[in-house]
Amino acid sequence: MKFITTIISIVCTTSLVVAQSTTEAFEKYRGGHLTGTARYNGLSGAFGALGGDLSALSDNPAGAAVFSSSHGAVTLSQGGSRFLTSYDGNSALKTDQANLNLNQIGGVLVFNKNTDTNTLERVVLGFNYALSQDHKSHYRLQGDLNTSIGSYFAEQANGYFPENISRFEGETYRDAYINIGDSSGYGRRGQEAFLGYSSYLISPSEDSDDIYDSELATTSSFQDIEVRQSGSNSKTSLNLATSYSSGWHLGANLNIHASSYQKEMVFYEDNTYANVTYIQDETTSSTGISLGVGALYRTGKNFRFGLSYQTPTWLSVNTEIDQRIITNFTTPIEIDDNQDGVVEDSFSSLTIDPGVYYLYSEYQLRIPSKTMLSAAYVIADKALISGQYTYQNLSNIKYGEGFQGASQLNESIAAYYKPIHDFRLGTEFRAQNWKFRAGTQFTSSPLESRVNSSSLDSGFSLGLGYAWKRYKLDLAYNHYQRTRNFTPFENGSYFPTATIEEKGDLVSLTFNVGF
C-alpha cells in the first residue's frame, strides 16, 4: 500500500523543488483541439465577430449580446486520436480512442429593452462550461541514444554531498526519501538524486564530492518510454454583455479554470552497465481564474468586427509524485567494509521504492494572455464567412511563488518558446431550416530552433444544422493534426526530445433550445 505524505511548508526555510521540463506547462495548459458546440466546431471556432453561440463567449464575451432571446445548449462528443512518435530516429505507432465526453453546457438569459434611440437595447447574463482539453493519450518512444539516464541523475545530484542524498544508519528508503524532500528541503530534485545514488547509477567525481559522474555508458543505450496520460481541463465562464442600437456589443467574462492531470511514465534503458526501469506516476491538479473583455461592432447588415482580450490565467498548482527504480546490473555490485576489503554484500539487482505518493507544496503558475481580432461578412441571412486571428506569447509562461528554481526554468522557457499565431476561417450556408458549415484552422509553431522539429496545429471541419420551432440540432465533424515536442526528463546535462505527431477525429452533437 502506498502512503501519502503532505508537506508542511513552514518547516522548510526555502520552497521545495518540483522538477519540471520546459514542455510541461505547455502540454498541460495550452489547450487541445476544438471542444465547443457543434456549430462552433463546424466553423473551426471562427466566431469572434459572429457571437450568438455559447462557446464563442470564451473567444469574445461581447458575442453573448447577439442572442435576441434566452437560450440553452448542451454538447456531447466522441473522438479518437492516433500517435506517431519519433525518438532519435525510431518510430512507433500508438492509437488512443477517447471516451464520450460532455463538451459543453450553458445558457444565456436575455433582457430586452424597447427603445428607438441610440441607447441600450439588451442586457445578457451568460454561463458556459466547456471542456478545454482532454489529456487522455497513450504513446511510446523508442530509440538508440548516445546518452544515458545516468547523466540526468548526475545533474540532479550535483551540488549535494553524498551524506545529503543517502540513508542514515537504520533509516528506511521511505523515511530517507521523505526527509530529503521535507526536512532537508531538497524537494523533488534531491529525491531524484537520492534514487539515482542509492541505485548505484551515479558516484561522486574524483575531483569533488559534490559533483557526480554517471556509471552508465553514454556511448550507446537503448531506451523505451511508455507514457499514459488522463484527465482534463475545464473553463467555466460567467458572462455579462450588452448591446446598443448603434451596433456596438460589449461584454466581460470571469473565467474559472480547473485541471486534473495524471501521467504514468515507464522508462526503460538497456545499457552495458545495467538495465534500468524508472517509473513515475504524477498527479497534478490546479485551479485558477482569468478575465475576458470584448467588443463586437455591426456595421449595417453585412460587416461585423470583433476585438477581445483575455488576461493571463493565474493558477495554483498541486503536484503529487510516486517514483521508483528497478536496476539489474551486468556485473554484480559488491559492498565491502571500507577497511580490509572484505565483501559484506553482493547483489545483481536492486529495487528502490520509497512506497510514497509525495505531495509537494503548492506553487503558482501564470499562463500568458490572449488577444483576438476577428471579422465576418453576412450575405442577406443566407450565408456568411468569418475569420479570426489570435496572438499568444508562450515565452511568457511564468512559474512563481512556491517553486524553487523558477527563475532558471522561466529563462529556459523564454528561450525555448515564442509567440504563436492562430488563424481560423469558417463559412455557413442556409437553405430553409438547414445550415451547412465548413472551416479550417492553423496554429504556428511556438518553438524556437532548439530542436529540428517544430510544433504546429492544423485541421478542418464540416457541420450540419437543423432548426424547428424553438429547437436546433447541430452536428460537426473535425479532423485535426498536431506535431509537438515532448521532453521526458530534462536538466542541464540531459534533454533528449521526442517528436509526437497526433492525428484525430471528433464528432460533436449539440442540442439547443430557445426560451
How far is the C-alpha of 466 from the C-alpha of 326, rounded, in Å? Answer: 58
In a domain, 475, yes or no: yes
Can you tell me which residue has the cell 508542511?
Answer: 8
How far is the C-alpha of 340 from the C-alpha of 334, rounded, in Å? Answer: 14
Provide the b/e sequence for 107-131 (b: ≥16 CB within 10 Å): bbbbeeeeeeeeeebbbbebbbbbb
Residue-wise pLDDT for 321-366, tens only, equals: 999 999 999 998 887 766 666 767 788 999 999 999 999 889 999 9
How far is the C-alpha of 362 from the C-alpha of 286, rounded, in Å? Answer: 9
How far is the C-alpha of 312 from the C-alpha of 88, rounded, in Å? Answer: 36
* One domain, residues 57 and 162: no
How far is the C-alpha of 1 from the C-alpha of 67, rounded, in Å? Answer: 55
* One domain, residues 134 and 202: no
Task: Find the helix packing angle between 149-157 and 187-198, rounded to 10°.
Answer: 120
Dmax (CA) of the chain: 102
* One domain, residues 256 and 132: yes
In a domain, 273, yes or no: no
Residue-wise pLDDT for 413-454, tens only, equals: 888 888 999 999 999 999 999 999 999 999 888 876 544 444
Give residue 92's pLDDT.
Answer: 72
The count of C-alpha atoms lying within 13 angstroms of the C-alpha of 478, restricted to the half-sphere facing its C-beta, is: 33
- 500 pLDDT band (50/70/90 cuts)? confident
Radius of gyration of the chain (CA): 27
* One domain, residues 114 and 158: no
In a domain, 336, yes or no: no
In a domain, 351, yes or no: no
129 SS3 class: strand
pLDDT at residue 1 above 60? no
Q: What is the CATH number of the domain that holds 27?
A: 2.40.160.60
- 4 pLDDT band (50/70/90 cuts)? very low
Amino acid at the residue 480: Y
* One domain, residues 139 and 159: no
In a domain, 339, yes or no: no
* One domain, residues 391 and 247: yes
pLDDT at residue 197 above 80? yes
* One domain, residues 368 and 475: yes
Taking the alpha carbons at both ends of the chain, their separation in whole angstroms is 54
Give residue 470's pLDDT.
Answer: 92
φ/ψ of residue 449, rounded to 5: -85, 35
Give residue 262's pLDDT.
Answer: 94
Give residue 341's pLDDT.
Answer: 64
- 294 pLDDT band (50/70/90 cuts)? very high
More confident site: 250 or 407: 250
Determine the Cα angle at 154 with ends 152 and 158, to 5°.
120
Residue at a domain's end among 184, 215, 246: 215
Residue-wise pLDDT for 56-113, tens only, equals: 998 999 999 999 999 999 999 988 888 888 887 677 777 666 677 888 999 999 998 8
φ/ψ of residue 478, rounded to 5: -125, 135
- Sort 195 into a burial class: Cβ within 10 Å, 0-12 / 13-18 / 19+: buried
* One domain, residues 311 and 183: no
**Count of H helices and E strands in the chain?**
7, 24
Give residue 11's pLDDT.
Answer: 32
**pTM more than 0.85:** yes
- 13 pLDDT band (50/70/90 cuts)? very low
Lowest mean pLDDT among 63-72, 182-191, 249-258: 182-191
81, 96 in Cβ contact below 8 A?
A: yes
How far is the C-alpha of 98 from the C-alpha of 27, rounded, in Å? Answer: 18
* One domain, residues 430 and 486: yes
Q: Show the domain range for 309.
A: 15-145+231-263+286-322+362-514
Q: Total domain count for the chain?
A: 2
**In terms of Cα–Cα distance, which of 324, 218, 225, 326 is closest to 276?**
326
In a domain, 354, yes or no: no
Give residue 308's pLDDT.
Answer: 97
273, 219 in Cβ contact below 8 A?
A: no
pLDDT at residue 226 above 50? yes
* One domain, residues 164 and 235: no
Q: What percent of the chain has pLDDT over 90?
A: 61
Residue-wise pLDDT for 156-165, tens only, equals: 999 999 999 9
In a domain, 340, yes or no: no
How far is the C-alpha of 478 from the C-alpha of 506, rounded, in Å? Answer: 5
* One domain, residues 37 and 103: yes
**In terms of Cα–Cα distance, which of 494, 484, 459 is closest to 24?**
484
Residue at a domain's end among 159, 186, 215: 215
Residue-wise pLDDT for 454-469, tens only, equals: 456 889 999 999 999 9
* One domain, residues 494 and 375: yes
In a domain, 270, yes or no: no
How far is the C-alpha of 394 from the C-alpha of 81, rounded, in Å? Answer: 25
